[in-house]
Every structure is written in structure tokens, then in C-alpha cells.
Amino acid sequence: MPPSPLATALNLRIKQLIIRVLMLEGVSPEDIPDDGPLFGAGLGLDSVDALELAIHVEEELGVKMPDDAGTRQAFASVNALAAFVVERQPATGA
């Protein structure tokens, strides 16, 4: 089943955030696979990058990112981070 347009939009927003916040010159959203690792062999991000990214995810996407195992797992991939954001976004509407 293909991802929903909403999920695709969130993944794109996360990729753009990663590129902008971490100043990944020469990297486009298309270069970052949705299910590829962000750390190590993936984009090669490190713990400082994770901290910077967590701050911006909190500010721009409105979710708290406590320093715990669940948050660390959220940085496994763009898909994992998007799922984390969706699960923790405040409910809207009545």
C-alpha cells in the first residue's frame, strides 16, 4: 500500500528540516530514503546532530522529544521520525 499524501508530506517536511538544520549542502530530499538509516552508514549523523534536530522538531513540529530510548529509536529513519511525530502530536479538533 503506498503511503498516504499526508504521510508523504510529513516525510518531505522532515527531510527538508534535516537538510536545513544540519546544513547538508548538496543533499536534496530525494537523496534521503524514507526507510534509510540517519546515523552511521546512512546520512552519517552523530549525537550532536540528533540534539540539534530534536530541538527543531520540537519547535517546528510541536512534539516533545525527551531523552529516552523511544526518542532515540525515532531517529532510526525518516519513516520512524514521522511515525513518532504523528503519535505524539497534540490532538486537534473537538
39: closest CA among 18, 62, 21? 18
Domain annotation covers residue 64: yes
Let me know if residue 5 belongs to a domain.
no
Residue 63: inside a domain? yes
Q: pLDDT, tens digit, for every residue of 26-74?
A: 999 999 999 999 988 778 888 899 899 999 999 999 999 888 877 888 9
**55: in domain:** yes
Tell me whether residue 78 is in a domain: yes
d(CA 45, CA 4): 27
Domain total for the chain? Answer: 1
Nearest CA-CA partner of 64 in 81, 80, 88:
88
Does 36 map to a domain? Answer: no
Provide the residue range defining the domain that includes 68: 44-89
Distance of CA 74 to the CA centre of its chain: 8
What pTM value is reported for the model? 0.84
What CA–CA distances, in Å, run from 61 to 2, 26, 41, 42, 65?
A: 23, 24, 26, 23, 11
In a domain, 6, yes or no: no
